[in-house]
Amino acid sequence: MMRYALYFTPPSHHPLWAAGCDWLGRDPETGVTGPGGEHRIDPRRYGFHATLKPPFSLAADSTAADLETALEAFCLERDAFVMPALGVAALGDFLALRPAPGTSGEESAQRLQHLADDCVRQFDRFRAPLSAQARARRATAHLDATEVAYLEAWGYPHVFEHWRFHMTLTDALPRSEKGAELRARLSTDATRHFEEALHGPLACEGLSLFVESAPGADFRLARRFSFSA
């Protein structure tokens, strides 16, 4: 069964898009692949992105054309905005690009939060109920009561105040002394790799619709939708 997801991606012309695809070893828009690097299997499959509405199967009464029409209307009512400065940071067991601490990006962060919240709410009518297998996969032991409620209501636990903007760069890394050494090395490598691409301004100019054609297949960037307000 196909799945769809709404993601933030840098504009195709921005150096960060090229740097992210190069880091993961795959461009989900063109299909071009490269060597990538170690400990990047999962993020390579999903493509370089930040999640706004997590992957979902279409409801029985919805079509891909319906979803795209709704996305067009949604983006027509929004305008682009400047992103907060990003940097390499740990999030749980993996590394990601995250809003850099100590930067003056409060307004940008609020706009990102509102965008993610609106994507979750306004496109949930297109989401089919979770299968038992998907629910079990997402219902991990560390979820709190609110996250469990969000999983049942919205199909994903990390939404609204539990959402964190991140662009995943690595697989989950081991929690051990060797894992700490690996994390430090990958963090240094990633910081060096993305330094130039993160130097200039970055804007959120629209949404990207990603598609997983079959379970376990690589997600591809099917279409970009530009904010037009």
The pLDDT value recorded for residue 84 is 94
Query: What is the residue-level pLDDT of the chain in tens, covering all 229 positions?
Result: 899 999 999 999 999 999 999 999 999 999 999 998 999 999 999 999 999 999 999 999 999 999 999 999 999 999 999 999 999 999 999 999 999 886 557 899 999 999 999 999 999 999 999 988 888 888 877 899 999 999 999 999 999 999 999 999 999 999 899 889 999 999 999 999 999 999 999 999 999 999 999 999 999 999 999 999 7
Res 103: pLDDT: 57
pLDDT at 133: 86
pTM: 0.95
Rounded distance between C-alpha atoms, residue 111 and residue 117, angstroms: 10
- Ordered by where they begin, the domains of the chain are 3-104+164-226 (3.90.1140.10)
Residues in CB range of 97: below 8 A, 6 or more apart: 20, 86, 87, 88, 89, 166, 167, 169, 194, 198
CA dist., res. 11 & res. 161, Å (int): 26
Q: What is the pLDDT of residue 1?
A: 87
Which residues, other chains included, contact 30 with Cβ-Cβ below 8 Å and sequence gap of 6+? none
Structure confidence at residue 140 (pLDDT)? 79
